[in-house]
Amino acid sequence: MQPAQIEKLFDDAPAHYEEEHQWLFRDFKAALNRGDIRAAEPDASAKSGWRANPWVKKGILLGFRMGAIADMSIDATRQPFFDKSTYPVRAFAASDGVRIVPGGSSIRDGSYIGRGVICMPPMFVNVGAYVGEGTMIDSHALIGSCAQVGRNCHISAGSQIGGVLEPVGALPVIIEDEVLVGGNSGVYEGTVVKRRAVLGTGTILNRSIPVYDLIREKVYTATEAEPLIIPEEAIVVPGSRAVSHPSGAKWGLALQAAVIVKYRDSKTDARVQLEDLLR
């Protein structure tokens, strides 16, 4: 796969897409499915430990440009579906080692799903996403476009891992290995959750919400240059912070925040490991 070919086709769109262009995109999408290329990848030189791959995002966007609306209905009358012909539901075989439990889940073509991944219905994985080996995606969970999820994570029921497809240079949401994302949590806007962190039920993380670390006495926020970064093994729960504006103080208002209340210990590990019975 040559990045220059994808970038040229994206930047200099032809009047008509020829067969050679279609084959280029098919090869690109197959590489996404294999995990050979990724929308973002580890980079030890970056503060976040990750860097985006703009050319990969351009290739994904190229697929939307090249595709035409096609009938993908299971039943044209009772369950009609229409989407871009370039992004059908991804095909799997039992030999892939992925459990997709019956009940209405959908995984879009052009995403990597590692061996041992468990998909509980209904859930959705969007194009460009990467889900590492052994991860569980629970019911009503979303893995957004280009989101990167590591190995042996648990994305609990109702959680949303936001995707960042545009702008192409922006880092997508990163969930590193062995992270537990509690139910009804949301991680958005390129936030990086480092390995073995735990997000309590209902935790929301984005560029606007500060994270207060009670243990290390620090406050973590995003900057123009860097995303919000949650430290390794941090236990994060929903919190609030008082509004300093006089009217806010008068009315007793508070804004959303997140709080690191501890770091992982043996009790945390024992609780997280209970899910192994489901595998």
Beta bridge partners, 149, equal 131, 175
Written as one string, the DSSP assignment of 126-160 is -TT-EE-TT-EE-TT-EE-TT-EE-TT-EE-TT-E
Say what the pLDDT of residue 74 is.
86
Say what the pLDDT of residue 272 is.
65
Encode pLDDT of 252-269 as tens digits. 999 999 999 999 987 766
Q: Is the four-CA dihedral 82, 37, 136, 163 of positive or negative sign?
A: negative
> Can you list the residues of the chain whose pLDDT is less than 70?
1, 268-279
Query: Residue 36: which H helix or E strand, with range?
Result: none
Measure the CA–CA gap between 132 and 80, rounded to whole angstroms.
31
Say what the pLDDT of residue 270 is.
64
Say what the pLDDT of residue 20 is.
95
pTM metric for this prediction: 0.94
Ordered by where they begin, the domains of the chain are 3-66 (1.10.166.10), 69-272 (2.160.10.10)
Say what the pLDDT of residue 2 is.
80
Measure the CA–CA gap between 32 and 45, rounded to whole angstroms.
24
As to burial, measured by CB atoms within 10 angstroms (0-12 exposed, 13-18 middle, 19+ buried), residue 19 is exposed
